[in-house]
Amino acid sequence: MDPLAFVIAVAALGVGAGVLGALFGLGGGIFLIPALTLLFHVNIRYAIGASLIAVIATSSGTGAAYVRDRLTNIRIGTVIQVATVMGALLGAYLAGLLPARWLYIVFGSLLLYSALAMTQAVMLRLGVELPDPGPPDGLATRFGMAGAYHDAASGELVMYAARRVASGTAVMFAAGIVSGLLGIGSGAFNVLAMDVLMRLPLKVSTATSNFIIGVTAAASAGVYFARGDIHPLLAAPVALGILIGAGIGTRLMLRLRSRTLRLLFIPVLLYVSVAMILRGIRS
């Protein structure tokens, strides 16, 4: 492939990953790693390195908009990022010890799990637009994990407070390990923890997940830079594409219904996860 054509194609891929990452609070790595390895035949170590950069770009690119719109809860993000950052450091340490084949299988299995968990969450809460504002737990009160935002879709002021902070944070720690191990934002786990366990409004979960995946990825970036996994000619077009895509995605999220988006997203996740697992088994 012509080098310039390759760089442009990767940037275009980045735009798509940025839009989807912004909408789902996912960081974009979940789309980039399979696309780079399966379509462009890029070595998975470089694909993971580029994905790490993509996660940081999505987080910061969306963060600027979602923080302004008060969708991101900075205090909640501040508390739970401790768990994801610790997990990420552990995961980055483990990544150097595992062969690429097992990374494929682990990554594919985690995707499959995310897709199934998401299906369940959508089915269980199909009619639920906003969570019932139950009493916050003691930890949430102590750490100031509550807030409010003006919902552009319904025109209402939505008040919320976190519940089950301890179990939510435990899931975040596991999400951090996955992030460090595979260079993905592991936003699916973050969103599920905030949405299902902590019972935060979906838009707050998505925006706050996007907020913390950047610092989580930054924690392991030092290790990946040192290992030489971040190739500038792959990471640069990815980063630029993602920043453009994230700008588009943040505008879209305010308008689109997230439930519809999730339903569309599940078959994509299922397909990609099975493809990754098969690749790991065959290699």
Partner 1 sequence: MIARAPRTLEDAVGRVLLTGVVVAALVIALGLVLLILVGTDQRALLAPLFSASTDAPARPPALGSLLAGILRGHPLSVISLGLLLLVLTPVARVLVAGIYFAQHGERLHALISGLVLALLLLGVVMGATT
Among 99, 127, 135, 155, binds partner 1 (CB under 8 A): 99
d(CA 278, CA 39): 15
Task: Indicate which single residue of 15, 30, 48, 89 sits in contact with partner 1 (rule: CB under 8 A).
Answer: 89
**Number of residues counted as binding partner 1 (CB under 8 A):** 66
Q: For residues 9 and 34, what is the distance between their CA atoms, to the nearest angstrom?
A: 15
* Residue 41 beta carbon to partner 1: minimum distance, rounded to whole angstroms: 6
Using the structure block, give the residue that is written with the tokens 């940081």: 56
Q: What separation in angstroms does the CA of 206 have from each of 187, 200, 252, 275?
A: 8, 10, 13, 26
Q: What is the rounded CA–CA span in Å between residue 221 and residue 135?
A: 38
Task: Looking at residues 127 to 146 of the shown chain, list those that interact with partner 1 (rule: CB under 8 A).
Answer: 142-144
Q: Is 95 a residue that touches partner 1 (CB under 8 A)? A: no
| 118 vs 208, beta carbon nearer partner 1 | 208
Is residue 174 part of the contact set for partner 1 (CB under 8 A)?
no
Cβ 131 to partner 1 shortest distance, Å:
22
C-alpha distance from residue 105 to each of 142, 151, 170 (Å): 40, 40, 24
CA distance 76 to 233: 36
Q: Which of 170, 157, 167 is nearest to 198 (CA)?
A: 167
**Is the Cβ of residue 115 or residue 215 nearer to partner 1 in the bound state?**
215
| Interacting span for partner 1 (CB under 8 A) from 22-30, 64-72, 167-175, 268-276 | 64-72
Closest distance of CB 154 from partner 1, Å: 21
Separation of CA 18 from chain center: 11
Alpha-carbon distance 199 to 76, whole Å? Answer: 13
Mapped onto helix, strand or coil, the DSSP state of residue 127 is coil
Residue numbers at the binding site for partner 1 (CB under 8 A): 3-4, 6-7, 41-46, 53, 56-57, 59-61, 63-64, 67-68, 70, 72, 74-75, 78-79, 81-82, 85-86, 88-89, 92-93, 96, 99-100, 142-144, 214-215, 217-237, 239-240, 243
